[in-house]
């Protein structure tokens, strides 16, 4: 049972919160990790409401063209300048910084959707863009953009959780590897970066598949020809990776012994430890 929580972001253009409470925990749980697993926030996912507001404003500026009715940044600029209230901080129609921040935005910011400045300045520019968009762009378009942002955020967390799961499975496999795997035999490898290695005649080519620690400290799984393996003195960091032999570790969904799949797996759940791509 997942704990309850408030929605992470308030709706701006959509009618309901675009992300449900506990969406991160739900995604983490759905990929096969415990919902409380420590998954680092991906760069693509906004950290807070301010980042989310800035990202949404930039998405609206990047949409452009037929979608928003503004085909060029000059049209956006003219529209913003005619919309922004020409008043000071006491203006009842707006927060007062709208016009100044419209004038501060460069053609590059408007055309490419890349707001510049310190975080607080970018946040004010973003709120200005959202206020302008709410009056000058069709609401259906804005709702679609906001919903797309939510879907991209969920996908970023899903990718991060799946990467975490893969890393965990690699580590678990490296801790207790079997001696044989469907024709692959455990290989004695004395290089200090190697956790476990297997050798086999793979489609007529003597090959080695190894789980090893990369230079960034993460465990990776790659397959090499035996010739390249020997030429590198069994150093997986230096051995040339063979073509189309990237290996990934996947979950076993059966209670049988794990097997190595040599065929390309596409439309069904993989049941082995090594999956060929």
pLDDT of residue 2: 44
In terms of phi and psi (left: phi > 0; alpha: psi -120 to 50; beta: otherwise), the region of 117 is left
User: According to the model, what pLDDT value does residue 138 have?
Assistant: 92
Q: How many other CB atoms are found less than 10 A from the CB of residue 225?
A: 19
- pLDDT value, residue 263: 32
Q: What's the confidence (pLDDT) of residue 91?
A: 52
Q: What does the pLDDT read at residue 21?
A: 85
Does this model's pTM top 0.75? My answer is: no
Residue 192 carries which DSSP code? Answer: T
Spatial neighbors of 117 by CB under 8 A, at least 6 apart, are 104, 125
- pLDDT for 85 equals 63
CA distance 183 to 134: 63
Task: Collapse the DSSP code of 47 into the 3-class scheme (helix H, G, I; strand E, B; otherwise coil) and give the result.
Answer: coil
Query: Residue-wise pLDDT tens for the chain (277 aa)?
Result: 344 455 678 899 999 988 888 899 999 999 999 878 889 999 999 999 999 999 999 999 988 766 777 766 678 888 888 887 654 444 555 565 677 888 888 888 888 889 999 999 999 999 999 998 998 899 999 999 999 999 999 999 999 999 999 888 878 777 777 788 778 888 888 788 888 888 998 888 899 988 888 888 888 888 888 999 999 888 888 888 754 333 444 433 333 333 333 332 222 222 233 433 3
Query: Contact, 144 vs 95, CB < 8 A?
Result: no
DSSP 209: E
Strand residues in the chain grouped as ranges (E): 180-181, 184-187, 194-202, 205-213, 219-225, 247-249, 260-261, 274-276
pLDDT of residue 270: 29
For 2, which DSSP code? P
- At residue 39, the pLDDT reads 92
* 24: three-class secondary structure by DSSP: helix
């Amino acid at each position: 049972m997942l704990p309850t929580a408030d929605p992470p972001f308030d709706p701006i253009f959509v009618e309901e919160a675009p992300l449900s409470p506990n969406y991160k925990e739900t995604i983490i749980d759905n990929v096969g990790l415990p919902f409380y697993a420590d998954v680092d926030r991906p760069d693509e996912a906004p950290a807070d409401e301010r980042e989310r507001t800035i990202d949404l404003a930039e998405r609206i500026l990047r949409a452009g063209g037929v979608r928003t009715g503004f085909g060029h940044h000059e049209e956006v600029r003219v529209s913003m300048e005619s919309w922004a209230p020409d008043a000071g901080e006491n203006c009842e129609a707006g927060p007062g910084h709208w016009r100044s921040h419209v004038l501060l935005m460069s053609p590059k910011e408007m055309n490419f959707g890349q707001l510049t400045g310190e975080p607080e300045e970018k946040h004010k520019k973003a709120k200005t863009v959202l206020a302008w968009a709410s009056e000058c762009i069709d609401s259906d378009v804005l709702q679609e953009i906001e919903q797309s942002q939510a879907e991209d955020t969920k996908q970023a967390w899903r990718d991060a959780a799946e990467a975490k799961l893969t890393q965990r499975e690699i580590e678990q496999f490296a801790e207790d590897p079997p001696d044989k795997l469907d024709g692959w035999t455990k290989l004695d490898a004395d290089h200090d970066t190697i956790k476990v290695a297997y050798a086999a005649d793979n489609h007529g080519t003597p090959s080695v598949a190894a789980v090893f620690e990369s230079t960034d400290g993460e465990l990776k799984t790659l397959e090499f020809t035996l010739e390249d393996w020997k030429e590198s003195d069994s150093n997986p960091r230096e051995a040339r990776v063979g073509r189309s032999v990237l290996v990934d570790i996947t979950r076993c969904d059966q209670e049988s012994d794990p097997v190595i799949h040599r065929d390309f797996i596409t439309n069904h759940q993989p049941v082995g430890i090594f999956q060929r791509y």
